[in-house]
Structure 1
Amino acid sequence: MASIELDIWRGEWGLASIDLECLKVLTYMKFIGVPVRVREATNPFFTPKGRLPVMKDGRKLLSNFEEVVEHLKSLHYSTDVHLNTKQAAEASAFTQYLREKLYPAYQYAWWVDEKNYCDLTRPTYAKALCIPFNFYYPSHYQNAAKEMVDALYGEHTDLREIERTIYNEAEKCLKTLSDRLGESEYFFGNRPSSFDATVFAYLAPLVKAPFPNSTLANHVKGIANLTRFVARINQKNFRHVTDEYNRLNSKKQSTGTQSEREAANFPNQTRNKILAALFAAVAMTGYAVANGMFQDFKEFENTREYNDMFENDEDDN
């Protein structure tokens, strides 16, 4: 087997990638333990379909999650071999259910909600892209999401009504997922499947990303077993990413605290410096008087040299 390479969107907030599709493929590869070289791409323009992720195995290029799963299965890498016929059918039905009910809400939260798009999504993807593509792709993805939402809910003229409808359906979907998971570690037994990778990819960005308008994210965070599911998979498979994020975040907070302390102490520091300068000036003046420096200067004023200086100035004029 040739060395497998995987190009993905960069990570953020303790996630291995900011992107749903990239997280699907990356998580699945972690589950099966396939050797892979992961690269954070900055330009999807030259990819086969103009998007990420892209898996390269020799001369074969794949960018679709289902195609990646089938290709790796042909190489005898699979997490679904333990599923019986009924479980496999159930996993397929749930996957389609997520696509119909949760995916539109996911896209709405990321791309259609203007507050989220302007304050979170656009700057995050712009940061991941190189110039000039950071000016093009975010708005391109936003337009695609808006077109999808319009095709699904075009009969509603009020955007707020669309939002309520989308999030209500997503909330029902999340409850169904929660009921199916129960207290189990994974959705089908004690081993992960491709469906677990899919669910994690949907939920992890909603749990981790700091959405300004967090309606959908709050639905996820309010379901305890789903948030534990995300935390377990993240810790088991991406611990190095989480640890690095926590380390950098702690360092940033420490630096911020120090800056805040310095800012808080600034008035006192300024006052102390002024008082110290005044004290030094008084002390130096006292020392000068004590040593007769002013007297010496007065005597110097009466000397011939001092008078000559001003006489010369007058002559020059």
Structure 2
Amino acid sequence: MTATNMAASMELRCWGADWGLPSVHTESLIVLAYAKFSGADLTVAPIDWTWRTLTATVPELICQESRVTEPAQILNFLRKLRFNADYELSARQGADTMAYIALLEEKLRPALLHTFWVDTENYASLTRPWFASRSPFPLNFLVPCRHANTALSRILLTKSESPLHTITDVEGKIYSEAKECLNLLSHRLGAAYYFFGNTPCSLDAFVFGFIAPLHKASLPSSPLQNHLRQLENLQRFCDHILSAHFSSHPGSPQPVQEMVDANLQKLTQLVNKESNLIEKMDDNLRSSPQHKPLRSDPRPNSSDHRNSTPA
């Protein structure tokens, strides 16, 4: 069977779209972005509203008899099918890609987990309600709690070294490292649209997956999001990928010009409608019978004046 035939039946199971993103889930965003960059045609199957919200490992790529999870493994699988967004990279750029992805995992992921799943205000106001609303009863009570516990355990497992043993102890460290990571990414990207050349590659997919939720989510409490807002090139990087590769997605915002054109069209239609209504009313007034106004004429009647007798 050819790669083309196999590609036609590829299905990606992932968390669904919101916040102007094709998915709110970092790992799902990585795969979705890479598929766009490499030209892989995937059928997206959100696990929202299903019992798989508790049991599924997402993202999960299903192709014929193959089931692949984890972004790195899925990207390797796509490369074997000749969907390779990295084919123009040099050996040095390939090595840099691996180094930056490792940096994201070590320095940025713990802070993102804390921001969305451990921070009390963010969890109560945004994360928990979103995942609960996408899970059927009674999983809506279990899914957010399970993700939060997993996030907390992962942070403590990777960052709680002596003398830092509690989540409160490690907060300062993980946010300091995350801000440093964002600064390095911003410096490396510079004024370019992508990290290597004029076309996106796997590093762009990973960076997009990590920072796009932080960029787009309405977080009530996030020092990391505030720091990202100072790095305009990283924000532009996310917005460019969304507009260039996901502009037709229902979860993504319309380009500014399209929104202006749509609003202008609506305004024109409204003006035309009002003009037609006014013209119709004017025609009705013109065709209606004209009667003498029911009011007294202040001018004296000439015949009465002639017939009047002087005192």
> Which interval holds the TM-score relative to the shorter structure?
0.7 to 0.9
Q: Pick which of 145-154 and 93-102 moved more.
A: 145-154
Aligned residues: 248
The answer to whether 1:113 aligns with 2:113 is: no
Matches within 5 A, 1:1-317: 1-2=5-6, 3-42=9-48, 46=52, 50-154=56-160, 155-156=163-164, 159-241=167-249, 245=253
Q: Matched residues in 2 for 1:243 and 1:16: separation?
A: 5
Q: Give 2:153's aligned amino acid.
A: E
Q: Matched residues in 2 for 1:104 and 1:243: separation?
A: 26
What's the offset of the Cα at 1:50? 2.7
Q: Matched residues in 1 for 2:31 and 2:186: separation?
A: 23
Listed one character per residue, the Cα deviations across residues 46-95 of structure 1 (whole Å, up to 9, x for unaligned) are 59973211111111111111111111111111000011111100110110
RMSD: 2.2
Listed one character per residue, the Cα deviations across residues 173-215 of structure 1 (whole Å, up to 9, x for unaligned) are 1111011111111111111111100000111100100011121
What's the offset of the Cα at 1:217? 1.0
Q: Matched residues in 2 for 1:173 and 1:14: separation?
A: 24
- Between the two proteins, what is the percent identity of the paired residues? 35
Contact 1:79 1:192 in 2 (8 A): yes
What's the offset of the Cα at 1:152? 3.0
Contact 2:247 2:253 in 1 (8 A): no
CA separation of 1:233/1:223 partners in 2, compared to 1, >3 Å: closer, same or farther? same
Contact 1:45 1:51 in 2 (8 A): no
Q: What is aligned with 1:313?
A: none
Q: Pick which of 152-161 and 34-43 moved more.
A: 152-161
Q: Matched residues in 2 for 1:160 and 1:62: separation?
A: 36
Q: Matched residues in 1 for 2:122 and 2:53: separation?
A: 27
What SS does the aligned partner of 2:248 have?
helix
Q: Give 2:126's aligned amino acid.
A: L
Listed one character per residue, the Cα deviations across residues 219-245 of structure 1 (whole Å, up to 9, x for unaligned) are 112101101100100111111236765
Query: What TM-score do you get using the length of structure 2 for normalisation?
Result: 0.75
Query: What TM-score do you get using the length of structure 1 for normalisation?
Result: 0.73
What's the offset of the Cα at 1:137? 1.4
What SS does the aligned partner of 1:6 have?
strand
Contact 1:220 1:227 in 2 (8 A): yes
Q: What is aligned with 1:314?
A: none
Q: Which has the larger radius of gyration?
A: 1
What's the offset of the Cα at 1:44? 7.1
Q: Give 1:78's aligned amino acid.
A: N
Contact 1:171 1:219 in 2 (8 A): yes
CA separation of 1:12/1:196 partners in 2, compared to 1, >3 Å: closer, same or farther? same
Structure 2's unaligned 5+ residue stretches are 260-311
Contact 1:235 1:242 in 2 (8 A): no
Contact 1:24 1:201 in 2 (8 A): yes
